[in-house]
Amino acid sequence: MSNKPGNFNPEIHVTDYRKEFEAKRVTRDCLISIDGRKTESLNGKWHFYADPIEYLLRRGWYKESRYDDQGREKPCDYDFEAMEEIKVPATWNTERPELFLYENMGVYFRTFRYKQHEEGERVFLHFEGVAYRAYVFLNGECIAMHDGASTPFSVEVTGKLNDVNRILVGVDAKRQDDRVPMTNTDWFNYGGIYRDVYFVRTPGTFLKDWFLRLVPGSGYSEIALDFSVDGSKSGEALLTIEELGIKEKVRYEDGIGSAVIKAKPVLWSPENPKLYDVSLSIDGDELLDKIGFREFKVDGNRILLNGNEVFMKGICVHEDDVYLGKSTNECIIRETIRTVKEDLHGVFLRLAHYPHTRLFSKIADEMGVMLWEEIPVYWSIAFGNEKTYKDAENQIGELIKRDKNRASVVIWSVGNENPDTDDRFAFMSNLASYVRSVDPTRAVSAACLVDEVGEKIDDRLADKLDIIGVNEYYGWYNPDFSKLGRVLKNSNPSKPVIITEVGAGARAGNHGPSDMLWTEEFQEALYMKQVKEIGACPFIKGVSPWILYDFRAQRRFNHYQEGFNRKGLIDADKKTKKLAFKVLSDFYKTK
């Protein structure tokens, strides 16, 4: 017998209404490769409304149930076609002033037509970035739920399409303590469908994923290929790199194929970012890409690119724009890389604190700059929560699947500024092991903290890393700059160290004595002292100061900051350089 009263209404009384959608979670295993594949854009104008009470889920609005079982019309509180339009891709915060600080659910709606092109074709919806959780509904049915604001996801919709289709996406931008990232962050919480949305067609049997790279330790004379096929268990693929004279047939069994092929490619580097046109094909399907080949490794406390020791002359950057929010475009990315290479004399960018757009790494391949990519295992994640770990592992898995063919990506990072607890050690150790299991060709790192009591670089996680990242703000948050010298003197790491954050805040145009906080002169003077100490330390093999551009941050509200983190070497306008920019540029020019 039911204990529910006769007037029980699930739309009102059920509080765990989100639970039913958990079964529709999509993960890295669902992700398909779209590089070089013909896609159809679903960008443009979508209808949108703010849904803070989550009636899309709570009351099942996505079902669009307008009639009862007797055929009588019911009063409805929704009319998706009548909702105002908003741009996709974009963050709702920058599209509508009234939504600037909105952090709950927003609902997107549009229709699209479908006509079959080929007999037996399969079709997918592919989202490049939805912040932070996405609930996807097609023609009244929930087809996907995805966690992670900055990694892509794919969902197959074969057999679910009509001539005209109705798609709803519930985008949940709420911060939660068991999510990645959690509630407390130091960047602006943008929400929305802020990256591209694609409709993708494939044949019944198609190439789902591939990984092509130089074999480490092969003397730069072997290329390794791994790929997976969805649909047919066995068959043959053809790898073609015409410029290298490669036309290699590779068998696959149980949907998996691999080969090692002799080749002598021109090696990719920032000075010579050589890329090759590459094709991988099976009967009826083909993937195309431009791929560079290089070897990046750690030898003792040295960092080597193609056998040559390199100093990682870098800078951090957030995916943040005054006008576009967390969205971006090709012009912004190209100007960012040009500024780093030509004006700053750098070769390295740390993309903080989450995966940036796919376009960034593709342009970095072309223009020649090395990248550190990371997921937002940031500050005090719920390290003891198994669900939180699975979220983190899935996000870095999706990032690796997306960018593993990019020569520019040389370091995967598993976290930033986490306390050295037992739960954190286990969590991040497991993440590091997972990363190595799926990609042994890149370095694994994390931005760690200094032991302030012992005044030395000392973090248990270092044993699990290839490169030790260190965030230090001596002379700023810790006003006693002399501590930096003692920390470096007391430390003797067996692995290379990159100073992953260092810097000071300055409001562009605010001038005064060099001992006055928030002036350009204070920032300039601190950079002079920092580069002198860093440049003289033998185990420091790189630096990525915080940060290239000022960016929005919801915890920065003094009259110098006004809602921005002002540690940028360039103002938020992405044009106005502060005095410290030249200090770092001169250091890199001679380093």
Q: Could you report the per-residue pLDDT of 287-300, keeping only the tens digit for each? A: 999 999 999 999 99
Q: Is the pLDDT of residue 1 over 60?
A: no
Nearest residue to 418 (alpha-carbon basis) of 455, 384, 393: 384
- Categorize the per-residue pLDDT at 74 as very low, low, confident or very high, splitting at 50, 70 and 90: confident
Choice between 569 and 233, residue whose per-residue pLDDT is larger: 569
pLDDT over threshold 90, residue 67: no
3-state SS of 300-324 is CCEEEECCEECCEEEEEEECCECCC
Return the pLDDT at 6.
63
Task: For 414-430, write each residue's pLDDT tens digit.
Answer: 999 998 999 999 999 99
Helical H segments across 329-385, by residue range? 330-338, 358-367
Q: Is the predicted pLDDT of residue 330 greater than 80, yes or no? A: yes
pLDDT of residue 340: 98
Global pTM reads 0.96
Confidence of residue 70 (pLDDT cuts 50, 70, 90): confident
pLDDT at 16 over 90: no
Give the number of other Cβ atoms within 10 Å of residue 73's Cβ: 8
Paired strand residues for 317: 351
pLDDT of residue 13: 67
Between the alpha carbon of residue 443 and those of residues 302, 373, 450, 495, the distances in Å are: 12, 11, 21, 12
Q: What is the pLDDT of residue 69?
A: 86
Per-residue model confidence (pLDDT) at position 584:
98
- 């607890």: which residue's tokens? 421
Residue tagged 């800078």 (tokens):
315
Q: Give backbone dihedrals phi and psi of 211, rounded to 5 degrees, phi first.
A: -145, 115
Q: Which two tokens stand for residue 449?
A: 């903290």
pLDDT digits (tens, 9 = 90+) for 178-226: 999 999 999 999 999 999 999 999 999 999 999 999 999 999 999 999 9
Backbone angles phi, psi at 240, to 5 degrees: -125, 125
| Cα 234 from Cα 322, distance rounded (Å) | 51
Q: How far is the CA of 21 from the CAs of 9, 117, 135, 170, 463, in angstroms?
A: 19, 32, 8, 12, 39
Please state at what angle helix 386-403 crosses helix 422-438, rounded to 10 degrees: 30
> Pick the residue with more confidence: 1 or 248?
248
Please tell me the predicted confidence (pLDDT) of residue 489.
Answer: 97
Return the pLDDT at 499. Answer: 98
pLDDT on residue 66: 87
Question: CA triplet 407, 411, 413: central angle to 5 degrees?
Answer: 140
Q: Is the pLDDT of residue 393 over 60?
A: yes
pLDDT of residue 149: 96
Nearest-angstrom CA–CA distance, 9 and 58: 11
CA dist., res. 336 & res. 348, Å (int): 12
Average pLDDT value for residue range 301-316:
98
Name the DSSP class of 67. Answer: B
Higher pLDDT, 518 or 232: 518
pLDDT higher than threshold 80 for residue 4: no
Position 154 scores a pLDDT of: 98
Report the pLDDT value the prediction gives residue 564, as an integer from 0 to 100.
96
pLDDT at 378 over 70: yes
The stretch 526-549 carries a mean pLDDT of: 98
